[in-house]
């Protein structure tokens, strides 16, 4: 996916692509670990004419910190989506829904998400 994003970024004149991998992803997803992100960033820069940069601003942050940062920036979290199951509402049960709930609780910020369960 990152290679596809890099090709698209170059085709539209973008200077970089952003991945929102965070510290909680490291144990679960090997492609979200700092070593992989660093290596992919080097490959993308070397493999594009415009030296496309891979940015990963949250790689050392937990989701609670990310929620706090977004809140400070005025993110309307009611317009964001995390659920892997699809549908009209977040399922409330999948891993990303559970992590989303935990992040809001950790941040001490009310979760505006409507969940099925």
Identify whether residues 93 and 67 lie together within a single domain.
Answer: yes
Identify whether residues 76 and 103 lie together within a single domain.
Answer: yes
State the Cα–Cα distance between residues 44 and 5, nearest whole angstrom.
Answer: 10
Residue 7, domain member (yes or no) = yes
Residue 38, domain member (yes or no) = yes
Identify whether residues 48 and 69 lie together within a single domain.
Answer: no
For residue 60, the SS3 value is coil
Residues of the chain with pLDDT under 70: none
Our CA dihedral for 51, 54, 55, 56, rounded to 10 degrees, sits at -160
Identify whether residues 35 and 69 lie together within a single domain.
Answer: no
Residue 113, domain member (yes or no) = no
The string of pLDDT tens digits covering residues 64-97 is: 999 999 999 999 999 999 999 988 999 999 989 9
Q: Specify the pLDDT at position 50.
A: 87
State the Cα–Cα distance between residues 87 and 112, nearest whole angstrom.
Answer: 17
Give the pTM: 0.81
User: 82-87, long-range: CB within 8 Å, 24+ apart, which pairs?
Assistant: 82/113, 87/116
Identify whether residues 41 and 15 lie together within a single domain.
Answer: yes
Straight-line distance from the first to the last Cα atom of the chain, in angstroms, rounded to the nearest whole number: 31
Identify whether residues 40 and 13 lie together within a single domain.
Answer: yes
Identify whether residues 9 and 36 lie together within a single domain.
Answer: yes
Residue 14, domain member (yes or no) = yes
CA dihedral sign, ordered 31, 32, 33, 37: positive
Residue 93, domain member (yes or no) = yes
Identify whether residues 7 and 39 lie together within a single domain.
Answer: yes
Domain count, the chain: 2
The first and second tokens of residue 108, run together, are 């001490």
Q: Specify the pLDDT at position 27.
A: 80
Identify whether residues 21 and 47 lie together within a single domain.
Answer: yes
Domain range enclosing 39 = 2-55
């Amino acid at each position: 996916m990152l290679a596809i994003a890099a090709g698209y970024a170059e085709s539209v004149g973008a200077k970089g692509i952003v991945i929102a991998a965070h510290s909680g992803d490291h144990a679960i997803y090997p492609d979200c670990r700092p070593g992989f992100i660093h290596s992919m960033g080097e490959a993308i820069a070397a493999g594009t004419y415009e030296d496309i940069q891979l940015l990963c601003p949250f790689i050392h942050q937990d989701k609670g910190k990310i929620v706090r940062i977004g809140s400070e920036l005025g993110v309307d979290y009611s317009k964001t989506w995390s659920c892997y199951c699809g549908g009209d509402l977040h399922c409330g049960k999948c891993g990303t829904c559970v992590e989303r709930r935990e992040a809001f609780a950790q941040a001490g910020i009310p979760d505006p998400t409507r969940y099925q369960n």
